[in-house]
Chains A and B, each alone.
Chain A
C-alpha cells in the first residue's frame, strides 16, 4: 500500500504566530490588522532585538488604545535606524528631542494632551538602556515622582550600542565592551556595579512596573496592554539582544533572550505601587553557561582555561534572582 504524507495542522497552540486561533486569542503580531507602527524599511541590523521589541510593544499599545499613541524617543539605535534621513519608518506621531530627556518631553506631551481634553491619546516614551539608566535617569525619576501619565519603555541591550558598544550601567558583569576591556586578566565589566532600574522604578511606587523579553511575545504584549489600561507613570523594561554588540548570531536573538530568562539572569516580573504582583516561572532552568557561551562578549570566560570563578559568580546572581522573585517551584 502506498504511504501518502498527510499534513496535520496543529490548531489550538498558543505559539505566537498562530493564525488559526480565534482572533481574540491571537497575538497582536499574528493579527492581519496589526498596525506595524514600526514599519519595514528601517535600517536595523539583521537580528536586532530592539526592532522586534519596539514593534511588538508599540503595536500592542496601538491595539490597546484604538491607535491613539504618540511616541517620544531618546537618541539611540532605535531613533537612528528608524528615521534615516529623509525617511521614517514610524506610522505613528513620533518625536525625538535629546538623549537624556525622553521622559521629560513625554511628560510635556501628556500635559498638553490633558489640557486639550484628549484623554484618549496616550503617550509612550522610549529609549535604550544608555538613555534610560544613565543620562536619562534624572528625567525618568522626575516623571515617576510626578506620576505623569506616561509609559516609559526601556529597550535594554546592555550597552551604548549605537555609538560602538560602550559600557552603560545596564551592562552585566564580565561583559566585554569597548570601554570594559577583557584583555589578559581583565574581566570585562566589573562585578559590584550596575543599576537595576525596574527595582528603582518600584521604589518610586508608581502604578505599574514590568520586565519583559522579546523571547516571550505573549507576555510582552500582555504587559504593554495592561500598562495602557492604567493611568499614571508606568515602566516596562524589555530585554533585547543585540547580535552586533553581544557578538551573537542574528538568528539566535530570540533563543538568547529565552536563555536569559530560563537561566534566571533576566527575571520576568510585574509590580504595582512598589509591591511584586506577578512573575513568570522558569519551566526548564538552564545553567548560565548555555546563555553566556553563545556570545562573544563573554568569550573570555571560556576557552582552554575557563574562568570558573566568574562564571560561578554569574550563576550566583541568577540563583539569587530565582530565590528572590520565586521563579521556580
Chain B
C-alpha cells in the first residue's frame, strides 16, 4: 500500500488533489481511497487530505499516519504545522516552492531522508502561467508522478479531464505536464 498525505490551506484544492490522485490510480486498475481530514473548513485554514493506493481493496479507515509521500501545497505551513510527522527515511517529499530545501530552512532536516526523493516544484507559478489561478494541485500531481513513479502522467491527465471541464482541464494538464517534465529533467542526470 502506498500512502500519501497532502498538506495545504483551505481553498487551494487540497481535497480535489487527493481525489484526482485516487482517480489516477483507479484508471490504472488499482484500488484507491481518498478523503479529507475535516478540520474547520474556512479559507486559509490548514487542511489535510489523504490518499491510499493499493492493488488489493483498501479497508483501512484511519488517517494517514505513516505516509510514504508528502505533498506540501503551501510552504507557509512549514514551520507552523508538524507536516512531516510519521514520514519514514525513504519517504518522498514534494514541496510547492520556487526555493530549494536549503533556502526553505530544511537543509539540516533533509539530511535524514533519501536525497533523491525530496523535490520542490514551483507549482503555483506553473498554475498561474497555464491556468491563470494559483491552484497548484494539478501541477503537484504531475510532480508526484515524476518523483514517485507511483502513477503515470497519462493517468494524471485523464484524471484531470475527469474532474475539470473542457478548457480548464486542458490548462491544468499543461501545468501538470510542465511540472512532470521539470522534475523528470531534474532527475535525469541522477539516473544516467
A–B touch (CB < 8 A): the answer is: no
Q: Using a CB–CB distance below 8 Å, which chain A residues touch chain B?
A: none
Chain B residues close to A by CB (< 8 Å): none
